[in-house]
Amino acid sequence: MSIRDRSILWLIVVWIGLVGSVGSVPAWAAESARVAHFVTSQGIGIYLVENHVNPMVEIRILARGGSVYDPAGREGVAALTAWMFNEGAGELDSVAFQERLHYYGISLGANAGQDTLEVSMTTLSDHLDEAWTRLGEAMIRPRFVEADFQRGVRERVAELIKSEEEPTFRATRAIFPMIFGERHPYASPVNGTVESVKRIELADIRRHHAAVFRGAGMVIAVAGDVGLERLKGLVEKHLSALESQPGPFGPPPEAIPVEKGTEQHVEMDLPQTTVRIGVVGIHRDDPDFYALMVMNQILGGGGLTSRLTQVIREERGLAYGVFSYFSPLAGRGPFMVGTETKNASVAEALALIRKELSRLVEEDVGETELADVKRYLTGSFPLQLDGLDKLADTWSRIGYYKRGMDYLDKWPERIRAVTREDVRRVAKRILPLKRLCTVTVGKRMPAGSEPASGTRSKTEASPPNR
């Protein structure tokens, strides 16, 4: 993940953190905050945020079926299943299906994450019937033609080969097995590897699709120009044929933090080095969740006031940017720190990052700094829910991860309740230097400048196409 993507990281963090207060949001957003919720006879959890300002509707669907459920040796099945979601359904082949979507101005596609397979749809409210027809057919009556599947395999393989040129891709691929362990499903790349994708067969896609698209456990969030009764009718008409029994996928296995971190250097002939430092974090339901969100903002969250930005960028000029983030998953998600710096300054940057991590563990944060961060977090909510797409994204995650209908209302008070002691406690839990894993991608570091924490691992000179 590059430095220019820090703003995207911050949006992800806030979508999951979901900060806000009703008094601070625009009038239209406050009206939209009145969310309707119902569960269908198939077990689908539906969330509706009505907003009739514009004739648009955004739909987000989350279902259990991300990359953690890929068959061993065929990693990439979930991602390829998502790729094929709009490649023909019902009586329409791939070309006819795409043409129909284009004619009505409907955007429909899917993506795989680690936990979930996510479907996104955008449509004018005048075309809701057509949009839900296509959505229902794609979920219930996919065509799955061999020629389309082979085209998807070729595209995915080409993308993976191209990604080998990106240091951020190489760094991410290297660090996840280090922090989660080689055998944990979170260690595997979501898109698979060149070798694993080539082993996937169309039958794998059919099985995965059938296991994912079931009513039980599925969440659909809708935001925009549609009323509750109309939505109920659309869901009943187009999704009533979904299997109501739960699928075969259970919760992901528990991730156990490593006792002693390792390091790895990936050799690439580049003018700067990409740095990633990571460790297993905590669960969403952990009492320290909100303390971790505050701690992350202090350390390297969005904006130019974080400790890492002040030290690495403003004071030393070692990098254009530096970030930290926590990515909550269904299990214990990763906590990461990252930057890109000149090859000659890697050792200095790493030392400064570790110093700031140690400060959080060994010292209480200042009251003023803590107050400023909490004020920033609780005041930034309107920027994160200023569109129908963000509202649908937010409520799909609230529903899928069972955060509760009052989650947005309670988020500000939970952030404000975080104390200096809370921040230091969670830092001690997840940031001991001995557990941190470090990856550097760039030219080989001069002798004596290698990362000092953890245990020496290996130097990767040529890509294994994982």
Domains of the chain: 25-239 (3.30.830.10), 262-384+401-444 (3.30.830.10)
SS3 47: strand
Q: How many CA atoms lie within 13 A of 466 on its CB side?
A: 17
Q: Residue 3 pLDDT more than 70?
A: no
Distances (CA, A) of 435 to 19, 178, 241: 30, 10, 49
User: Cβ contacts of residue 173 below 8 Å, gap of 6+?
Assistant: 189, 466
Q: Residue 158 pLDDT more than 50?
A: yes
Q: Which two tokens stand for residue 167?
A: 């240091």
Band the pLDDT of 220: cuts 50, 70, 90. Answer: very high
The pLDDT assigned to 302 comes to: 75
The pLDDT assigned to 83 comes to: 98
pLDDT tens-digit series, residues 277-319: 999 999 999 999 999 999 999 999 977 789 999 999 999 999 9
Distances (CA, A) of 34 to 27, 68, 155, 397, 434: 12, 34, 42, 17, 47
Q: Residue 298: in which H helix or E strand, if any?
A: helix 289-300
Distances (CA, A) of 349 to 268, 309, 365, 446: 19, 11, 22, 14
Q: Give the phi and the psi of residue 31 in degrees, each rounded to 5.
A: -65, -40
- Poorest-pLDDT segment among 2-11, 31-40, 279-288, 408-417: 2-11
Mean pLDDT to the nearest integer, 16-27: 36
The pLDDT assigned to 408 comes to: 87
The DSSP line for 148-166 is: HHHHHHHHHHHHHHHHTT-
Residue with tokens 């393989």: 157
In the predicted model, what is the mean pLDDT of the chain? 89
Helix boundaries (H) for 145-288: 146-163, 167-180, 194-199, 202-212, 228-239
pLDDT tens-digit series, residues 342-370: 999 999 999 999 999 999 999 999 999 99
Band the pLDDT of 453: cuts 50, 70, 90. Answer: very low
CA 57 – CA 151 distance, rounded (Å): 31
- Poorest-pLDDT segment among 10-24, 93-107, 219-233: 10-24
User: Cβ contacts of residue 400 below 8 Å, gap of 6+?
Assistant: 62, 116, 219
pLDDT tens-digit series, residues 224-270: 999 999 999 999 999 999 999 999 999 999 998 888 999 999 999 99
The pLDDT assigned to 448 comes to: 55
Burial-class residue 263 by CB neighbours within 10 Å (0-12, 13-18, 19+): buried
The pLDDT assigned to 5 comes to: 36
Q: Cα 114–119–121 angle (5° rounding)?
A: 150
CA 78 – CA 117 distance, rounded (Å): 7
The pLDDT assigned to 33 comes to: 52
CA nearest to 273, candidates 350, 178, 180, 335: 350
The pLDDT assigned to 386 comes to: 78
Greater pLDDT, 253 or 26: 253
Q: Residue 31 pLDDT more than 60?
A: no
Residue 361: CB atoms within 10 A of its CB come to 16
The fraction of the chain above a pLDDT of 90, given in percent, is 82
Q: Residue 426 pLDDT more than 90?
A: yes
pLDDT tens-digit series, residues 377-421: 988 866 777 789 999 999 999 999 999 999 988 989 999 999 999
- Poorest-pLDDT segment among 10-19, 206-215, 289-298, 394-403: 10-19
DSSP label at residue 441: E
The pLDDT assigned to 445 comes to: 56
DSSP label at residue 256: P
Q: Residue 464 pLDDT more than 60?
A: no
